[in-house]
């Protein structure tokens, strides 16, 4: 069995140019199955029947080293591929894993912050400090307009319409969308653009709204670094990443009763199904708030 495994891995590397990491995963998954077969008295891969397969899956699901659904699905995929090779090479007849369905991967709900957490985070910046003011403005608009970090980095002064309190954002797929902003964002932006950004430009000439201390456009990575530093420096006991602010925007709108198609438009989602994940988060949010309000 071990010889067949090594042949399979050589073929994998030759035919599919598999990475070393992929080969190691296959080796680990298949070797675990080989060990189980030996314990069950299987002398060849043709001895493996449905009872052996179901027993192996139960073995993977239980015990101290029980696999997650994601890891189990990967294991089953490895063994299907391995058996296809055994069939093609004439080492085995049939594929006992072909009819076995992999577990569905659990849909990961997006992280978000409650309203009071958002208030606490945005309220931690010292607005008498120019860099802190820039940061507050940047994160306020990221949350208040549901922007991706890349969209904040690419935002230009020409994208802002203060007469109508809207910004034009070009998102994924070069798709433009118009997003309104509330008075706090307007006030922060106007003061930043008039009194703070000019002092940071350092001779640079461009239209990007958010700049670093050398006057150059802030990158997405730079914004992430600033966010990490703000959470750390202000001693906030919360986990915040840039997308969590966008997730919070969507969740709070839905919790407030905003129509899901309006939220879809504001987020720039091509498909409504992408936006619908926030309805699950929103309902959990409402349930927790309800339970908290009526707890005894």
Active site residue 163: no
* Catalytic pick among 172, 186, 206, 261: 172
Note the pLDDT tens digit of each residue in 227-242: 998 888 877 766 788 8
pLDDT-based confidence at residue 203 (cuts at 50, 70, 90): very high
- Does residue 95 contact residue 88 with C-beta atoms inside 8 Å? no
Active site residue 21: no
- Does residue 157 contact residue 209 with C-beta atoms inside 8 Å? yes
Tokens 């190691």 correspond to what residue? 24
CATH topology of domain 2-89: DNA polymerase; domain 1 (1.10.150)
Backbone phi, psi, residue 49, to 5°: -120, -175
Q: Within a 10 A sphere around the Cβ of 27, how many other Cβ atoms?
A: 16
What residues are paired with 177 via a beta bridge?
A: 169
CATH topology of domain 115-294: hpI Integrase; Chain A (1.10.443)
Active site residue 114: no
Q: Is the pLDDT of residue 212 over 90?
A: yes
Note the pLDDT tens digit of each residue in 70-90: 788 888 888 988 898 899 889
Note the pLDDT tens digit of each residue in 92-101: 888 888 888 8
**Which residue would you say has higher pLDDT here, 13 or 275?**
275
Looking at residue 17, its pLDDT comes to 45
- For the chain, what is the radius of gyration of the CA atoms? 27
Please write down the HEC assignment for all residues of 245-279.
Answer: HHHHHHHHHHHCCCCHHHHHHHHCCCCHHHHHHHH
* Catalytic pick among 246, 247, 252, 285: 246
CA distances from 50 to 60, 133, 292 (A): 15, 65, 49
* Catalytic pick among 136, 148, 247, 252: 148
Q: Please state the domain extents for the chain.
A: 2-89, 115-294
* Catalytic pick among 134, 252, 269, 285: 269
Active site residue 247: no
What residues are paired with 217 via a beta bridge?
A: 211
Contacts of residue 49, Cβ cutoff 8 Å, sequence gap at least 6: 96
How buried is residue 192: exposed, middle or buried, by Cβ count under 10 Å (0-12/13-18/19+)? buried
Q: Is the pLDDT of residue 16 over 70?
A: no
Backbone phi, psi, residue 28, to 5°: -65, -45
Contacts of residue 125, Cβ cutoff 8 Å, sequence gap at least 6: 132, 133, 135, 136, 230, 234
Q: What is the mean pLDDT of the chain?
A: 84
Looking at residue 67, its pLDDT comes to 80
Active site residue 45: no
Active site residue 172: yes
Contacts of residue 191, Cβ cutoff 8 Å, sequence gap at least 6: 133
């Amino acid at each position: 069995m071990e010889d067949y495994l090594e042949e399979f891995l050589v073929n994998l590397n030759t035919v599919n140019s598999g990475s070393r990491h992929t080969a190691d995963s296959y080796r680990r998954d298949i070797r675990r199955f080989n060990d189980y077969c030996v314990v069950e008295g299987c002398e060849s891969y043709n001895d493996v029947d449905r009872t052996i397969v179901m027993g192996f899956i139960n073995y993977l699901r239980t015990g101290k080293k029980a696999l997650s659904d994601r890891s189990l699905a990967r294991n089953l995929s490895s063994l299907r591929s391995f058996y296809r090779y055994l069939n093609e090479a004439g080492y085995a007849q049939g594929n006992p894993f072909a009819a076995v369905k992999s577990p569905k991967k659990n849909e990961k709900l997006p992280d978000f912050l409650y309203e009071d957490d958002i208030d606490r985070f945005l309220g931690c910046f010292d607005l008498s400090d120019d860099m802190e003011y820039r940061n507050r403005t940047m994160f306020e608009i990221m949350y208040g307009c549901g922007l991706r970090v890349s969209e904040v980095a690419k935002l230009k002064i020409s994208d802002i319409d203060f007469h109508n309190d809207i910004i034009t954002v070009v998102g994924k797929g070069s798709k433009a969308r118009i997003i309104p902003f509330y008075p706090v964002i307007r006030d922060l932006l106007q003061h930043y653009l008039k009194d703070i950004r000019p002092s940071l430009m350092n001779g640079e000439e461009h239209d990007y709204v958010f700049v670093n201390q050398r006057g150059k456009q802030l990158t997405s990575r730079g914004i992430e670094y600033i966010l990490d530093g703000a959470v750390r420096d202000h001693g906030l006991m919360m986990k915040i990443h840039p997308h969590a602010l966008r997730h919070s925007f969507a969740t709070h709108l839905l919790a407030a009763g905003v129509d899901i198609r309006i939220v879809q438009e504001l987020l720039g989602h091509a498909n409504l199904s992408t936006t619908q994940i926030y309805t699950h988060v929103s309902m959990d949010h409402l349930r927790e708030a309800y339970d908290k309000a009526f707890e005894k």
